[in-house]
Amino acid sequence: MPSPDIPPPDLPIATAPMTDARSHALPPIRLRLLGTVPYTDALTRMRAWTAARQAARKAALAGEGRSSAAPAVVPGTGEASLLRDWPDLSEAATAGDEIWLMQHPPVFTLGMNSQPEHLLNAGDIPVVPTERGGQITYHGPGQIMAYLMLDLRARRLGIRTLVERIEDALIDCLGQYGITAFRQEGAPGIYVLPGQNGPVQPADGAAQWPAGTVTPPVSGPHHVHARHARPAAGVAKIASIGLKTSHGFSYHGLALNGQMDLSPFHRINPCGFRNLQMTDIHRQAALSQDLDLDALALALGKALAAAIEGQFAHGSRRPLTDRPSRPGHALAD
């Protein structure tokens, strides 16, 4: 049951297509709530699903004699549908975009930029190398994983814009739990001030955030991760991002800490940063009862779908555009 402290967020995903003969509407993004899945199983399915969608598009383009350039598209109408089982690979040729929501048993994952010295003591927790961007991180029960199975080329959505929209969705979702979250310049992910849900208020009354913070709401483009910089002192990380794109399709995604055992993070340098403080929604919101993790997963999925389609739940941010992603791009977490 949902925690009585905070009612489950409800973020509708209603979009209105443009009336342009040169555009075509995409179907609403489908959400899959998949429970607890071993990381290696999820990784195998992500790879297979992405490869099947790539093959289907290649075959369609060859059959129609068209170039791979995508026509202009607009979001579909209606709300994201919710499914609770895995897609069949036979559906890949006609499938739209999906967000896979799940938790994992304890596992450390190594991104493409991982360095051995950042794994301090794995103990009995498995370590799995992967092709996502970034360094080492931990996944475990109570953390919501959202894997973004998107056709970026069809959406004309570049990696920079995708990251910005993911961050917007995370900030909006955390806001539904009374948590003020923010970006850190050059340090991918989403951060909070532990035990505090707003900027520091010094004696002179001028609000101050930690150095390098990009505070919400933000108008216009953000400078996303121009360089990998250590987060400011005194902040804690609550969500991580690690993406992979391949021939116009994305997979992997993000992790949002809901209510989890944070001690395994002490066995690593999270995201390559020594002594980086980690936190979760339950601690930051000071909830008195357990967090409803299914409600959190659904709220996150809806926020992500809305943001990816250029619709923001609180109207605080506007869609951005940039160039489509390049093949094989990986983003740090």
Residues 227-285 have pLDDT tens digits of 455 677 789 999 999 999 999 999 999 999 999 999 999 999 998 888 899 999 999 99
Report how far residue 10's alpha carbon sits from residue 173's, in angstroms, rounded to the nearest whole number.
Answer: 10
Parallel, antiparallel, or unpaired for β 236-246 and 98-103? unpaired
C-beta of residue 301 within 8 angstroms of C-beta of residue 34:
no
Closest to 5 measured CA to CA, from 285, 200, 274:
285
Q: Is residue 14 part of a domain?
A: no
Q: Is residue 156 part of a domain?
A: yes
Q: Tell me which residue range forms the domain holding 250.
A: 24-331
Q: Is residue 10 part of a domain?
A: no
Which helix (H) or strand (E) element contains residue 284? helix 281-284
Fill in the DSSP letter of residue 113.
T
Residue type, 259: Q
Report how far residue 53's alpha carbon sits from residue 243's, in angstroms, rounded to the nearest whole number.
Answer: 17
- SS3 for 158-188, per residue? CHHHHHHHHHHHHHHHHHCCCCCCEEECCEE
User: What pLDDT score was predicted for residue 307?
Assistant: 95
User: What pLDDT score was predicted for residue 275?
Assistant: 87
C-beta of residue 242 within 8 angstroms of C-beta of residue 219:
no
User: What pLDDT score was predicted for residue 230?
Assistant: 67
Q: Which residue carries 């002490």 as its tokens?
A: 266
Q: Is residue 260 part of a domain?
A: yes
Task: State the total domains in the chain.
Answer: 1
Q: Is residue 1 part of a domain?
A: no
pLDDT per residue as tens, the chain (333 positions): 444 343 344 433 333 333 333 345 788 999 999 999 999 999 999 999 999 999 998 888 887 655 444 444 444 445 668 999 999 999 888 889 999 999 999 999 999 988 999 999 999 999 999 999 889 999 999 999 999 999 999 999 999 899 999 999 999 999 999 999 999 887 889 999 998 775 544 444 444 445 555 444 333 333 333 345 567 778 999 999 999 999 999 999 999 999 999 999 999 999 888 889 999 999 999 999 999 999 999 999 999 999 999 875 443 443 333 333 444 555 555
User: What pLDDT score was predicted for residue 273?
Assistant: 85
Closest to 116 measured CA to CA, from 269, 286, 284, 293:
269
Burial class of residue 64, CB neighbours in 10 A (0-12, 13-18, 19+): exposed
Q: Which residues of 285-324 are buried (b: 16+ CB within 10 A; e: fewer)?
A: bebeeebbbebbbbbbbbbbbbbbbbbbbeeebebbeeeb
- φ, ψ (nearest 5 deg) of residue 55: -65, -40
Q: Is residue 17 part of a domain?
A: no
Name the CA dihedral angle for 196, 231, 150, 177, rounded to a multiple of 10 degrees: 0
Report how far residue 240's alpha carbon sits from residue 270's, in angstroms, rounded to the nearest whole number.
Answer: 10
265: left (phi over 0), alpha (psi -120 to 50) or beta: alpha
DSSP, residue by residue, 20-59: -TT-EEPPPPEEEEEEE--HHHHHHHHHHHHHHHHHHHHH
Q: Is residue 9 part of a domain?
A: no
Report how far residue 315's alpha carbon sits from residue 312's, in angstroms, rounded to the nearest whole number.
Answer: 5
Report how far residue 165's alpha carbon sits from residue 134's, in angstroms, rounded to the nearest whole number.
Answer: 19
CATH number, domain with residue 286: 3.30.930.10
User: What pLDDT score was predicted for residue 94?
Assistant: 87
Report how far residue 258's alpha carbon sits from residue 166's, in angstroms, rounded to the nearest whole number.
Answer: 17
User: What pLDDT score was predicted for residue 203?
Assistant: 41
State the catalytic residues.
Answer: 271
Q: Is residue 77 part of a domain?
A: yes
